[in-house]
């Protein structure tokens, strides 16, 4: 009887949340898949047009430009904030003087409204009066500071910097929680056994943090492919689409140009790319997961 | 831990009860009802729910001054209709453009909405999203008191759908003191304009301020250059998609534009500034001119405002008709509105001389109802009015005259051109392809 | 809250030169990170005219706290702040509750469909949410929840389930199975195991997730704009956005308002972060 109860229990636990999720998220998601096969202005009824939207996408210069930008963003996100966040979490894990202040300081960017972050950094990037350029010119190394947001070659990176500024705190919080779940006795045992700091880190700590790292990498991929707010606020994808990213492109097509079908197609592409990265990764990782 | 959890659950339950308890109370009155029952007539007293007149009004007037004016106008209307329940919400201007998609599709939309005249409204009208208000136009006599131009912009297939209420003009604003210092006269022709720019530059001033971060300021230059070089009719047809971007006349426009770019008359790094950030050099006295709408005066420090004047965008070809940009704002009623009578009542107020006079005086915009007493206008308003009255044609502005999609492509092209003028031929080819895709295929 | 920099501890900490170096690097990095926030703080105490005349990056000519008052009144923060809480807290509680149930089921039971359900949760996170705006609006309207708190709450609860379940499941897998087995042998019902063993042991993860969720739900505004029509229900994010006009935006006021808006989240962070600090000794079995 206990066996039967145990078998049914997971389903009971999952019943309500899964239903809620199906109705509010998965349902609309499939509706979006359907919409990508239509021409819809968002107001009247959609008209079915098959794969026309996708055909159009493959001829759209802006699409490929946005895709390239997202991939650059992805590369930046799975490396820099992850490494940095981990280092910070490790440094702040012990009781060091002022640790609460440090933690709050690094988390603060996440807390500040995106609009304001975009605004502040916009001022910092100001070509003449901005903080960064004023500083650079003052050091005498530059005659004129670079056009952080107006130069088509560097605008994307300028925005990615702001994204990293925000993301590091997020990753730090995740790793802090992860570190707290690790049994300190394990680390002590290694120390007693004569392992060096580096060995302890690489061979013991990092593997123990794997579940967290999985989360961190997955969300880094997702967040970089879905990046939207900062681009929308700081440059709207400009100048001339140089900083365009897929989500921004999708938003403009859907809401500005009343082409919700086309926008949905872009969303589906984002979905498929994320799916590709994540599911391959998760599937492999889950094979290795310890059985219970 | 268990404690905290159960108290949290308890909290949620309490909250749920409280929230669901916040139901609007329906008003009731006692009515005498005559009922026939099995041949007998019974007189009963029954409590009957009364529908209070309700008006839901959502507005995008989030700029500080218009917002206050908007609130006052609603208060005046409320005072005239004390039994109305008015629910007034102001939404951030940019967000409103997103939110309107929700408003028009919801089953309980707002009753009256602010919106732009021109193509933006046209799109909704063509899709049957807007209520026909010809009856209000008729009953309020606007068919006579509104100039033909404004009626035309609100009419589709002989029915009126839109109520235009305020508009403003575009012109080249300049700092009087700088001009005086250099002994400059306001230019009327293109050649005079170039001379003015040259003089300003030689004396260390930035001739033209502009912030193109959000692109539309560049579109303003396109509008005017196109209307001056090729005439307003060609310009509007281009907006409507019946003329081609590959037409050599369009390329001409960019030739003139190029002159200004090559000579460096525009503010450096314009793409990094929003239009208001680019205002700074002008306020500081480093830049002299700015092609902009009249709202440029809204948030200037007083001393700068006093030093500001404007002139008509210079004439390039005297044989060409004069076109000006005068974007118009107004109101409409969504077709799903649950309270059409109240909405029409409110619309009647918004189109009235009373409201328009108030709005014009308060904000310095111009009203559409020409019965408003013009002697009440300030000098600036009179001058602006004269500017537009002297025009042969009035356009709404690039991104309101053409479809949003075409506007997006166009503005991106302007920015690309600004950054790399040599690429214009390629850009025009792309624009033409976009035009064909947008206007010509079905 | 113990803010004192414990001198004893500090001396202990700084024993090795490596540590000193790391600390210096940490301080410099922290300062660099803080600069943009500092800019925000300075801007919030300047007047708009000051900024117009002297540019954004310049020392304030005068200091004024008026912006905060203006944000409070004109931005309607006194109206909207309670709304933000009415939306965020139920959403947070519901989503944490349901996701911890789901996570436990997914982490600790072998049953057919386990992987697929897990993938479904993750899959729902992959779409850029803007594209869901109109479909969810239609759903909400259909359910008669347009322009109500519950419409927004249900949405947030559902939408955040993906991330929370993902997070908590992974953390729950790190709990040693012996503890669970022991409890089951003892005859504990699954709900008790969930409530009295699993949840306390994954407290750091729950606290971290709750902090992040509070941040996201509280800071959302696009959904509020789409799913709510009336001014009176708006959260502060939408209220603050209204300070942005078509032509004119009173930047210092918005920054001041945004800073006020960060306070609740910061307080939540400070309150919950001690749960990621309190270490749990996993040596014992009870």
- What is the largest distance, in Å, between two alpha-carbon atoms of chain B? 101
- What is the largest distance, in Å, between two alpha-carbon atoms of chain A? 80
pLDDT at B225: 96
- Assigned domain for B405 exists: no
Same domain, B313 and B175: yes
Q: State the helix-helix crossing angle for A131-138 and A114-124, rounded to 10 degrees.
A: 30
Same domain, B131 and B208: no
Quick one: which H or E segment has residue A50?
Answer: none
Same domain, B300 and B435: yes
Looking at chain A, which residue has its C-alpha nearest residue C160?
Answer: A21
d(CA C242, CA C133): 20
Same domain, B227 and B370: no
Residue A114's contacts (CB-CB under 8 Å, 6 or more residues apart) are A229, A230, A233, C219
pLDDT at C75: 73
Same domain, B163 and B63: yes
Measure CB to CB from residue B93 to each of C52, C150, C246 and give the nearest one: C246
d(CA A173, CA A155): 29
Note which residues in 80-119 of chain C have CB less than 8 A from chain A.
98-99, 101-102, 104-106, 108-111, 114-115, 117, 119
Whether A21 and C158 lie within 8 Å, measured CB to CB: yes
* % of residues, chain A, pLDDT over 70: 96
CB atoms within 10 A of CB B274: 14
Specify which residues B328 forms β-bridges with: B167
- Assigned domain for B285 exists: yes
* % of residues, chain B, pLDDT over 70: 88
Segment B188-223, tens digit of pLDDT = 999 999 999 999 999 999 999 999 888 899 999 999
Same domain, B81 and B24: yes
Same domain, B30 and B96: yes
CATH topology of domain A61-112+159-291: MetI-like fold (1.10.3720)
Q: Which of B3, B62, B68, B307 has the most C C-beta neighbours within 10 Å, making it the best mutation to test the interface with C?
A: B62
If one compares B35 and B179, the residue with the highest pLDDT of the two is B179
- Assigned domain for B183 exists: yes
Instruction: Enumerate the H helices of B374-423 as residue ranges.
Output: 379-389, 398-401, 404-419
- Assigned domain for B389 exists: no
Segment B319-378, tens digit of pLDDT = 999 999 999 999 999 999 999 999 999 999 999 999 998 988 888 788 888 888 888 888
Same domain, B34 and B109: yes
CB B5 within 8 A of CB C195: yes
B22 near C CB under 8 A: no
Domains of chain C: 83-233+259-282 (1.10.3720.10)
Nearest CA among A152, A148, A147, A156 for reference residue A68: A156
Q: From the CA of C216, how many Å to the nearest CA of chain B?
A: 19
Token duo for residue A143: 């005659």
Q: State the helix-helix crossing angle for C203-219 and A155-180, rounded to 10 degrees.
A: 150
How many Cα atoms occupy the beta-carbon half-sphere of B38 within 13 Å? 0
3-state secondary structure C83-113: HHHHHHHHHHHHHHHHHHHHHHHHHHCCCCC
d(CA C160, CA A17): 11
Same domain, B310 and B284: yes
Specify which residues B175 forms β-bridges with: B308
Measure CB to CB from residue C199 to each of B1, B11, B283 and give the nearest one: B1
Residue A163's contacts (CB-CB under 8 Å, 6 or more residues apart) are A73, A76, A77, A227, A230
Segment A213-248, tens digit of pLDDT = 988 998 899 999 988 989 988 888 877 788 999 999
Last residue of a domain, one of B340, B368, B384: B384
Q: What is the CATH number of the domain that holds B280?
A: 3.40.190.10
Residue C14, pLDDT above cutoff 80: no
- Assigned domain for B411 exists: no
Same domain, B243 and B265: yes
Percent helix, strand, coil in chain C, to 5, is: 75, 0, 25
| C-alpha distances out from residue B129 to A223, B85, B125, B132, C144, Å | 36, 24, 6, 10, 21
Same domain, B303 and B235: yes
Whether C231 and B98 lie within 8 Å, measured CB to CB: no
Compute the average pLDDT of residues B86-97: 87
pTM of structure? 0.81
CB B398 within 8 A of CB B411: yes
How many Cα atoms occupy the beta-carbon half-sphere of A188 within 13 Å? 3
3-state secondary structure of B58: strand
CB B413 within 8 A of CB B430: yes
Residue B293, phi then psi, degrees to nearest 5: -80, 165
Nearest CA among A210, A204, A208 for reference residue A191: A204
Q: How do B28-37 and B40-49 pair as beta strands?
A: antiparallel
d(CA A239, CA A223): 23
A229 near B CB under 8 A: no
Q: What are the strands of the beta sheet with B308-311, ordered from one edge?
A: B206-208, B287-293, B170-175, B308-311
A238 near B CB under 8 A: yes
3-state secondary structure C20-74: HHHHHHHHHHHHHHHHHHHHHHHHHCCCHHHHHHHCCCCCCCCCCCHHHHHHHHC
Domains of chain A, by residue range, sit at 61-112+159-291
Segment B49-70, tens digit of pLDDT = 667 889 999 999 888 788 889 9
Residue B157, pLDDT above cutoff 60: yes
Note which residues in 86-145 of chain B have CB less than 8 A from chain A.
97-98, 101, 104-105, 123-124, 127-129
Q: What is the ipTM of this complex?
A: 0.82
Whether B269 and A128 lie within 8 Å, measured CB to CB: yes
Specify which residues B114 forms β-bridges with: B331
- Assigned domain for B238 exists: yes
Compute the average pLDDT of residues A169-191: 83
Q: From the CA of C196, how many Å to the nearest CA of chain A?
A: 16
| C-alpha distances out from residue B288 to B104, B215, B282, Å | 44, 21, 6
The number of folded domains in chain B is 2
Dihedral (C-alpha) A148, A154, A159, A163: value to the nearest 10 degrees? -130
CB B53 within 8 A of CB B339: yes
Same domain, B86 and B144: yes
* % of residues, chain C, pLDDT over 90: 25
Segment B422-436, tens digit of pLDDT = 999 999 999 999 999
d(CA C248, CA B298): 8
Nearest CA among A252, A256, A242, A247 for reference residue A227: A247
pLDDT at C124: 87
Whether B105 and C141 lie within 8 Å, measured CB to CB: yes
Q: Which domain holds residue B427?
A: 170-325+417-441
3-state secondary structure of C194: helix
């Amino acid at each position: 009887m206990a066996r039967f109860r145990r078998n049914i229990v997971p389903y009971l636990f999952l019943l309500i949340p899964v239903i809620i999720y199906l109705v509010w998220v998965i349902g609309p998601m499939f509706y979006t898949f359907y919409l990508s096969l239509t021409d819809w202005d968002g107001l009247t009824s959609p008209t079915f047009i098959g794969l026309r939207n996708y055909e159009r996408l493959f001829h759209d210069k802006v699409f490929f430009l946005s895709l390239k930008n997202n991939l650059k963003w992805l590369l930046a996100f799975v490396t820099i904030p992850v490494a940095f966040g981990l280092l910070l979490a490790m440094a702040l894990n012990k009781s060091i003087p002022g640790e609460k202040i440090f933690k709050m300081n690094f988390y603060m960017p996440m807390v500040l409204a995106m609009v304001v972050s975009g605004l502040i950094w916009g001022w910092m990037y100001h070509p003449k009066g901005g903080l960064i350029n004023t500083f650079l010119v003052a050091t005498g190394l530059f005659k004129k500071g670079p056009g952080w947001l107006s130069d088509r070659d560097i605008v994307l990176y300028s925005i990615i910097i702001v994204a990293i500024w925000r993301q590091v705190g997020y990753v730090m919080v995740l790793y802090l929680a992860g570190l707290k779940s690790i049994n300190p006795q394990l680390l002590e045992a290694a120390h007693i056994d004569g392992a060096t700091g580096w060995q302890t880190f690489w061979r013991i700590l990092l593997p123990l943090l794997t579940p967290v790292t999985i989360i961190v990498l997955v969300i880094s991929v997702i967040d970089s492919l879905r990046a939207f707010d900062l681009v929308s606020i700081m440059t709207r994808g400009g100048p001339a689409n140089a900083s365009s990213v897929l989500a921004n492109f999708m938003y403009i097509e859907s809401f500005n140009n009343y082409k919700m079908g086309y926008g949905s197609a872009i969303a589906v592409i984002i979905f498929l790319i994320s799916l590709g990265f994540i599911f391959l990764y998760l599937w492999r990782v889950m094979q290795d997961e310890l059985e219970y | 831990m268990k404690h905290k959890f159960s108290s949290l659950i308890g909290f949620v339950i309490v909250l749920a009860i409280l929230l669901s308890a916040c139901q609007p109370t329906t008003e009731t009155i006692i009515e005498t009802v005559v009922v026939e029952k099995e041949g007998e007539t019974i007189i009963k007293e029954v409590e009957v729910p009364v529908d209070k007149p309700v008006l839901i009004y959502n507005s995008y007037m989030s700029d500080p001054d218009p917002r206050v004016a908007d609130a006052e106008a609603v208060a005046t209307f409320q005072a005239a209709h004390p039994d109305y329940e008015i629910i007034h919400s102001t939404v951030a201007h940019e967000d409103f453009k997103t939110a309107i998609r929700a408003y028009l599709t919801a089953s309980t939309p707002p009753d009256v909405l602010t919106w732009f005249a021109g193509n933006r409204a046209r799109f909704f009208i063509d899709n049957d999203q807007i209520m026909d208000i010809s009856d209000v136009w008729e009953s309020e006599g606007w068919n006579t008191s509104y100039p033909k131009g404004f009626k035309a912009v609100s009419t589709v297939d002989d029915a009126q759908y839109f109520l235009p209420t305020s508009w403003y003009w575009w012109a080249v604003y300049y700092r009087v003191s700088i001009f005086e210092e250099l002994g400059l006269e306001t230019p009327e022709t293109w050649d005079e304009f170039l001379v003015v720019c040259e003089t300003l530059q030689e004396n260390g001033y930035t001739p033209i301020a502009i912030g193109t971060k959000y692109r539309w300021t560049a579109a303003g230059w396109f509008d005017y250059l196109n209307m001056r070089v090729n005439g307003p009719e060609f310009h509007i047809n281009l907006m409507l998609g019946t003329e081609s971007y590959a037409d050599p006349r369009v390329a001409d426009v960019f030739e003139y534009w190029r002159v200004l770019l090559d000579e460096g008359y525009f503010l450096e790094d314009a793409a990094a500034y929003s239009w208001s950030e680019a205002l700074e050099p002008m306020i500081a006295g480093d830049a002299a001119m700015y092609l902009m709408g009249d709202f440029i005066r809204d948030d200037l420090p007083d001393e700068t405002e006093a030093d500001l004047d404007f002139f008509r965008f210079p004439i390039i070809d005297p044989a060409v008709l004069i076109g000006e940009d005068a974007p118009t704002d107004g109101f409409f009623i969504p077709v799903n509105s649950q309270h059409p009578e109240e909405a029409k009542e409110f619309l009647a107020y918004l189109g009235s001389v009373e409201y328009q006079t108030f709005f014009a005086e308060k904000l310095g915009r111009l009203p559409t109802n020409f019965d408003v007493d013009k002697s009440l206008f300030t000098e600036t308003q009179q001058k602006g009015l004269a500017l537009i009255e002297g025009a042969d044609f009035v356009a709404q502005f690039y991104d309101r005259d053409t479809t949003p999609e075409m506007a997006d492509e166009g503005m991106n092209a302007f920015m690309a051109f600004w950054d790399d003028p040599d690429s214009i031929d390629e850009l025009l080819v792309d624009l033409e392809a976009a035009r064909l895709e947008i206007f010509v295929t079905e | 809250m113990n803010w004192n920099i414990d001198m004893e501890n500090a001396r202990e900490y700084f024993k090795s030169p490596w540590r000193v170096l790391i600390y210096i690097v940490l301080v410099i990095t922290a300062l660099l990170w803080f600069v943009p926030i500092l800019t925000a703080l300075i801007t919030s105490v300047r007047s708009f005219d000051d900024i117009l005349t002297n540019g954004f990056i310049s020392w304030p000519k005068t200091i004024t706290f008026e912006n905060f008052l203006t944000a409070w009144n004109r931005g309607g923060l006194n109206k909207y702040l309670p709304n933000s809480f009415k939306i965020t807290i139920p959403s947070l509680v519901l989503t944490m509750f349901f996701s911890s149930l789901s996570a436990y089921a997914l982490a600790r039971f072998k049953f057919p469909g386990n992987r697929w359900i897990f993938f479904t949760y993750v899959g729902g996170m992959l779409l850029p949410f803007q594209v869901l705006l109109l479909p969810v609006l239609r759903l909400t309207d259909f359910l008669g929840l347009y322009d109500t708190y519950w419409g927004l709450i249900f949405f947030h609860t559902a939408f955040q389930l993906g991330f929370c379940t993902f997070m908590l499941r992974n953390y729950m897998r790190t709990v040693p199975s012996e503890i669970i087995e022991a409890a089951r042998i003892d005859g504990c019902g699954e709900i008790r195991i969930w409530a009295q063993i699993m949840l306390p042991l994954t407290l750091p993860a729950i606290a971290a997730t709750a902090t992040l969720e509070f941040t996201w739900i509280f800071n959302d505004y696009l959904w509020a704009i789409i799913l709510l029509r009336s001014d009176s229900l708006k959260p502060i994010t939408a209220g603050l956005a209204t300070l942005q006009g078509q032509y004119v935006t009173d930047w210092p006021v918005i920054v001041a308002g945004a800073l006020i808006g960060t306070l609740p989240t910061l307080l939540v962070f400070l309150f919950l972060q001690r749960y990621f600090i309190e270490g749990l000794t996993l040596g014992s079995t009870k």
